[in-house]
Structure 1
């Protein structure tokens, strides 16, 4: 159970991290395009 929980936690954290990176990148492009 602990291994599964930790595994899910790491995967979720990694996905959230990539989502933040991609999201900020997209927002930057949109901001530059609008301005």
Structure 2
């Protein structure tokens, strides 16, 4: 996470793990084939 911020990069992660999602600055959901906030 700190490397991504220091380099001004974006990381995209696909997961079902709620504890990993809690670390994200923002999340979106894929529901019925559509991205939602």
Same fold by TM-score greater than 0.5: no
Higher strand share: 2
Q: TM-score range by the shorter chain?
A: under 0.3
Structure number with larger C-alpha Rg: 1
Higher helix share: 1
